[in-house]
Structures are given as C-alpha cells and as structure tokens.
Homo-oligomer: A and B are copies of this chain.
Amino acid sequence: MTFENEKKTYLGKMDKSKKGEIDPKIKSLLAAFNVLPEYYTTSSCSGRVYLWRGSGKKNELEWLKMSHDLIDLDFLKINTYNGLVWLRLEGMILHIACRNLDAANLLLEKVRQLYKKSGILSASNKIIVEIRGSEFMEMPLYNGEKLLFVGEGDWLVGLINQKLEKMWNGIEKLTREIAEANRN
C-alpha cells in the first residue's frame, strides 16, 4: 500500500471514531500535521492527570480518577482505601507516521526544540515519530486511608493545573510552528 493510501485509510477510520474521542485541545495540531503530504497522525493525548493503584504494569493498573481538563480538590479524593494510590501527570504524546526517514528526521529536528524527549519509535515497517512532552508527576498520594500529602488547601491542585495549562500552551505553540512551516 502506498503512503497516500495508508494515510487515507487511517484518517478515514479516525473520522468514524466516536464523536469527542479526540481531545479538542489537540485537534488543531492533528489537523496541522494531516494537511502535510509527508505525515499523518496515528494517536494522540493532549496530557492528562490520574490516580492509579496497582503493580505499575499496564494490565495491572486500576484507574481511580482521570482528567484531561483542569481539576478541583474533589479530584484528589477517593472512596475506596486499599494499598498505595499514586497521582500521575503525563504530558502531551503524539504519534506521527512519516513517508520516509528523511521526513522523520526533518520533523524530529523541528520538534526537538520544543519537545526534547521526541524520537523515532519504529523505523522498520512503518516510520513513526513520537513527540512527547516533558511535564511529568508521579507521587504516592494515599497509603491505605492515609493521605500522604500535606499542603495549604488546594495548593497541589493549583500546581497540577499550572502544569496542565503549560502543556496546552505548548500544544498551541507547536501547532502555530507546524502551520507556519507549511506556509513557508
């Protein structure tokens, strides 16, 4: 299958996905990439914060809360106390299929200035570039019934929301840069 056909097939499938499945905060960025003939996006997350419990392995992870938007103090409260509960914040993550290795290198060179944790995920069958934000938090929040964090009122909530907003500003900045590079 040619790259053009793969792209058509892939983006066609995406259009059929449940409405609202793609976060509005990252839609413009996806569009900015998908108008470029050398690239198409295969998966994305605009950043998120969640409470989790388990071994840490993906299939042994219990998600207690999850937000892709600003949170309030309620978000940090849980109903069932059992073992160790972690708070995790993850930055933007975006996978982009590239027509060839040159296109991947060009993209990496461009985005590394803003997202230095980016790299090529695979270069064998499909060539996929991963753009990954640097924002991250991972902290133990409850041990059994015990809340492990002390802070003034919703201080931690403010800290988390600050990081979320920083991520979204980063997405807007990258969107502008990609759109601009395309115009030139």
Contacts and interface: CB of A to CB of B under 8 A. Distances in A.
Interface of A: 56, 101, 104-105, 108-109, 119-124, 130, 134, 136-140, 143, 146-151, 155-156, 159
B137 A138 contact: yes
A136 B134 CA distance: 12
Contact of A122 (B105, B124, B137, B149): B105
Given A56-B134, A136-B136, 14 more contacts: A101-B123, A105-B123, A109-B124, A119-B119, A119-B130, A120-B121, A120-B123, A136-B138, A137-B139, A138-B138, A138-B139, A140-B156, A143-B155, A147-B150
B159 A140 contact: yes
Given A136-B136, A159-B140, A124 B149 contact: no
The residue among A104, A139, A159 with the most chain B CB atoms within 10 A of its own CB is A139
A5 to B, nearest CB: 23
Contacts of A156: 140
